[in-house]
Structure 1
Amino acid sequence: MRLLQIIDSLEAGGAERMAVNFYNYLNGVKGIRAFLVATRKEGILKKELKIPSNYLYLGRKRAIDIKAILKLVRFAKEKSITHVHAHGSSYFIGSMLKLAIPKLVFIWHDHYGNSEFLNERRYSVLKLCSNNFDGIIAVNKKLADWNSKKLNCTNCTQINNFVQLAENADENVKLEGNQKVKLICVANFRPQKNHLFLLNVIAKLSDKDLSLHLFGKHFNDEYGNNILELIEKMTNVFYYGSKPINREILNQASIGILVSKSEGLPLVLLEYAEAQLAVICTDVGECKAVIEDTGIIINSGNEDELLAAINSYAEDSTKLNSSALKFHELVKRKFGAEKIIKQTIEFYKRCS
């Protein structure tokens, strides 16, 4: 089996990290050789590729970029690709590849983060392209059900995300501040992630011995600018930009937090668990199914609940440490890489 993972960029997003995770892990599986193509942009995740020689960057400029499509087709033929695993929005160029080489087994992976607002999802092009899908992987049940009902491919399954957390990075990051309790939030600056809500709550805890540390991409838009303006007024909030998240960074914190308005199955929760952090998260997407009773779940946008959650951990180190350990053990059991890879390979075979 010769597998090609396709992703539009190698920036630090959930779908991007999963494409890299699959690529790296599958290259260690007997009988499989894995390849990776980034179509539009490279990014910080390129440094994490374990076998750079099996990677190709297309430099795609537009939706229908003939030069990029031909480059992809040549690569697939040269490497004798048998299966294509396209992540997120890369389904379009993946469909072009399938049309050029019909014998390919083509699987699309749906990482759609706004699963709380599926009624607003635009999918006319996706539905057309789904005629070329041999199978669909969805990160949660809600997406799996939506795909089965809305798209022209009924061979759909739910497979959980998994993590391969790097031990360190080329650029070491030391969390700033000398506060006793450090909260970390890893989320790109998108309205869906609700940073402004989080910052408003942290402002009400300014008298507490705690700090908040934000990692994520700023898209140079009004939303991101508003976040930075708030941070400048706060002495216990620090922003580090977009960085590859590794164990060394996470181990400096004690609480991982995510207050999104909507999610699929956020990879960052699994990273928090891998680093053995206590967790606070909103009840959206599959978050509650991931955390179960090992962390604190709050309703989206509820300031009182978030205040109480942060205080309960900050004021009780025994509870914090116990929750962190239970969350770590739960995720290791349910979202272990070996288990998820086995399920994925079995699905590849069923689609063949």
Structure 2
Amino acid sequence: MTLNTRIDAFSELGITLQNYIESKNSSSNFSQKLTNVIRNSEIQNAWFAQSQIHNALEEWSKALTKENLSNWLQTYSFDQFVEKRVAVVMAGNIPLVGFHDFLSVLISGHDFIGKLSSNDSLLIPFLAEELIAIQPKFKSKIEFTKDRLPQFDSVIATGSNNTARYFEYYFKNKPHIIRKNRNSAVVINGTESKEELEKLGDDIFKYFGLGCRNVSKLFVPEGYDFDSFFKAMYKHREVINHHKYANNYDYNKAVYLMSSVKLLDNGFLILKEDEQFSSPIGVLFYETYSDQAQLEQRLKNEKENIQCIVGKSELADVGYGQTQHPKLSDYADGVDTIDFLTQKDI
């Protein structure tokens, strides 16, 4: 297959997803099958609420256009290309989180071997079937497994900091990308409008805060009045109606109260002053700052732990409400996947 053939196939998949998003009640065979897969995914993993899966599908329907794919790939050279078998150990924290690696491997012309997460084992294989229906030549290039990986040439693996150490050892003799835990932060300067803070709520609550691009840490000016922040968060109050989120919120609140930890709480979100970046579900950590230069140095020191920084200051790289709308070129952990996949010695 040529690169243009691969682009055409994925853009056709994007059109199919767009049609589904725009007419969820369609009686087409694809729509009925996808609806069933979405329901079964929620049964398999209660964090995958149907609304959250629809969010992920809508994002990919917008990303997989011929223009987006072509613009994304135009800066890369495929002259040195040698077809390889690339294994991908997939995460399962949010719906379709492994799809970018699936896309990257196949759009580069390699064979894809996916080690599925037990938390997300239905959605990507289903979309792979649709891709094969669109372009049958992909059939011999896609393989999924829930067990030991078959023979492969290189690997992309995503996991926790603990599993990353295992990956580093296990895959040390193979070309690899190993991703670890990361979290996102926001720098608030106190001039934010209600609309901006409401958009920040999307960065916090979408996918229940389980994604590496979800904001888990606030930096606020000394003396910051959280009243406007909590008023803006009220728009997202329905999150507490999800039983797993509510259970986590209640548990973390009880632990903190028993330890006499000082908290700010609005009934569905807890704020705790803490220097760490990775907060529990239902909790946001925050720090205060008075010196912009010191804050900049603090963020530089934590660069390896931060996926993106939200806000409207020079320190931010993502605007309010944009963390869960990444471009195809917004690579996880800042590691260029396509550059890795186009190296002749991978």
Q: TM-score range by the shorter chain?
A: 0.3 to 0.5
Provide TM-score, normalisation by structure 2. Answer: 0.37
TM-score (norm 1): 0.36
Bigger relative contact order, structure 1 or 2, given CA contacts below 8 A and separation 6+? 2
